[in-house]
Structure 1
Amino acid sequence: MSNELMIIRCRLGEREAFAELVRTWHDPVWTYVRRMLSAAEADDVAQEVWLAVFRGLPRLKEPARFAPWLFTIARRAVSNRLRVEYARPEVPIAADPVVGDAVDVLLDRAEMIVNLSALPVIEREILVLFYLEDLSLEDCAQICAIPVGTVKSRLSRARRMLHDRLVRKGSVE
């Protein structure tokens, strides 16, 4: 079922349509939130996102633009959480431990998440939206409320920062 059809059904009050919308989009939203925040906060923030989506669906003007609208809400929720976090006194936070199999793929993924989390929020966010959430430059621009040219420059800077970090760690040459 298309997003547009699900949204129309949601507006008509069909609970199953909203449940289907959540099933379809929960993982991408949670993944985005998790890449921007700690694991402990991701569930709470993702829940806040879905509450805001539920409340805001009647005001969504273009159902075809659901994905950028959804990630704009997620970005706002992440920003609110980060604002609260930055207001607290700084306490060193240990990286989430890698648990489970010692499979190379999992280790590579964990290392990449650690490297991403070391980047400043603005650069990390644009990498996550563009590369990991597979959103277009235009969608990234809409979500971040910036021009497409700024998205391109942030992507370039973020790639360079990530590359420099990986070179310093000896992961790439």
Structure 2
Amino acid sequence: MTDELLVVRAQLGERGALAELLARWRMPVWTYVRRMLDADRADDVSQEIWLAVVRGLPRLREPGRFVPWLFTIARRSVTDRLRDEYAQAEETSAFGDIAGEGIAEDPAEVMVERAALVSVLSALPVLEREILVLFYLEDLPVEVCAHVCQVPAGTVKSRLNRARRLLRESLEEKGHTS
């Protein structure tokens, strides 16, 4: 069953359709939010997102645009959380060094390298991190990224280019070479 059909059925009051949408999109949304925030905040923000989805779903005029609409809500929720935290201006985080070289074979090393990559991603400016997450990690096309971020497709492409450059520079600084 397509997302569009599930949305229409959910708008008509079918709870099973809403539950299926939630089951289908819960992890991708949480993963997106987790890549933008830490795990504790990701849980809270994800709940806020799904509350907004349940409240707003009856007003969604184009059921076929559910995924961009969903990620727009997710982006707005993440942005609001970050804005609130930056307004408090008391938190600055330090990022650990990346340990190890090359491709890890050991599962523990893989976890360390993944944590290091998350650390490097976290150090990127929010706009560039967001584009990398949406495009590469959520596999959204440029056009959907543009819709979610409310910018032209050309801006998405330039942010992707800048984000890749910043990521490469950061990894090189930490001792990883391409």
Runs of 4+ in 1 over 6 A off after TM superposition: none
Partner of 1:154: 159
CA-to-partner distance for each residue in 1:138-161, whole Å, 9 max, x for gaps? 000000000000000000000000
Q: Distance in 2 between matches of 1:64 and 1:91?
A: 40
Q: Distance in 2 between matches of 1:159 and 1:86?
A: 25
Q: Distance in 2 between matches of 1:45 and 1:12?
A: 27
Displacement of 1:84 in angstroms is 0.4
Partner of 2:168: 163
> Quick check: 2:135–2:145 contact (8 Å CA) kept in 1?
yes
Displacement of 1:102 in angstroms is 5.1
Q: Distance in 2 between matches of 1:24 and 1:6?
A: 11
| TM-score, normalised with respect to structure 1 | 0.92
Q: Distance in 1 between matches of 2:20 and 2:78?
A: 23
| TM-score, normalised with respect to structure 2 | 0.90
Q: Which runs of 5+ in 2 are unaligned?
A: 97-105
SS in 1 for 2:177: coil
Alignment map for 1:1-173 (pairs within 5 Å) = 1-93=1-93, 103-173=108-178
Displacement of 1:87 in angstroms is 0.6
Identical amino acids, percent of aligned pairs: 62
SS in 1 for 2:159: helix
CA-atom RMSD, angstroms? 1.6
Aligned residues: 169
Q: Distance in 2 between matches of 1:91 and 1:59?
A: 37
